[in-house]
Chains A and B, each alone.
Chain A
Amino acid sequence: DIQMTQSPSSLSASVGDRVTITCRASQSISSYLNWYQQKPGKAPKLLIYAASSLQGGVPSRFSGSESGTDFTLTISSLQPEDFATYYCQQSYSIPRTFGQGTKVEIK
């Protein structure tokens, strides 16, 4: 199985901060990487697909990038509704696997 390792596991930030979450794959997965946002009691919601493509309806403050086996989710200016847990997920091979999640909390 491909292991996905996110860092940090949690972070505290203030409204307006720039936030960066990293996801590292245990092997090359090209751009087969997606990001999801999950709020408490809710299903995950797709934010970014294919490493850097913004899902329709998602604010442009969210962006994704890749460098080798490292992938980054950036929130350019954190908003109150962005406090949530974020997961990366690889679609390169079966079984699909997720990172352990990064919880973004209010500072």
Chain B
Amino acid sequence: QVQLQESGPGLVKPSQTLSLTCTVSGGSISSGSYYWIWIRQPAGKGLEWIGRIYTTGSTNYNPSLKSRVTISVDTSKNQFSLKLSSVTAADTAVYYCARSVGDYYDSSVRRWFDPWGQGTLVTVSS
């Protein structure tokens, strides 16, 4: 079955750019009508949706982060990536990648997140 794995630096300096990659195994990132998602969770807090990308490259971002976020996809490597610029301590969190699956309902698509990667902790500190 499909599995996701996050990778990237665990420590980023303030004002720099956080860069993470999610590698998809067990299936092609290009197959099916899936979105690929980034979500984060500060320690002891709830979940925040960062954004998503379709295999065509179409993206949607959380307006709260939109000015700093870029999500891209590399179908040749079966990976998608997150870049978050101008980071501060408030960006310290566990970052998860996930797949967004859906079904057709009443002329629209209901979606949910499954599976998820195991998560990677990114600390912003000098």
Q: Which residues of A contact B (CB under 8 A)?
A: 1, 30-32, 34, 36, 42-46, 49-50, 55, 87, 89, 91, 94-101
Closest chain B CB from A64 CB (angstroms): 12
Contact of B110 among A43, A44, A50, A98 (CB under 8 A): A50
Q: Which residues of B contact A (CB under 8 A)?
A: 46-49, 60-64, 96, 102-103, 105-106, 110-119
Q: What secondary structure prevails in chain A residues at the interface with B? A: loop
In the complex the two chains form, is B106's CB within 8 Å of A30's CB? yes
Cβ of A1: which chain B residues have Cβ within 8 Å of it? 63
Question: Complex formed: what's the CA distance from A103 to B74 in Å?
Answer: 38
In the complex the two chains form, is B63's CB within 8 Å of A44's CB? no
Question: Complex formed: what's the CA distance from A30 to B108 in Å?
Answer: 11
Question: Complex formed: what's the CA distance from A94 to B116 in Å?
Answer: 19
Given known pairs A31-B105, A91-B110, the reply for A43 and B119 (CB within 8 Å) is yes
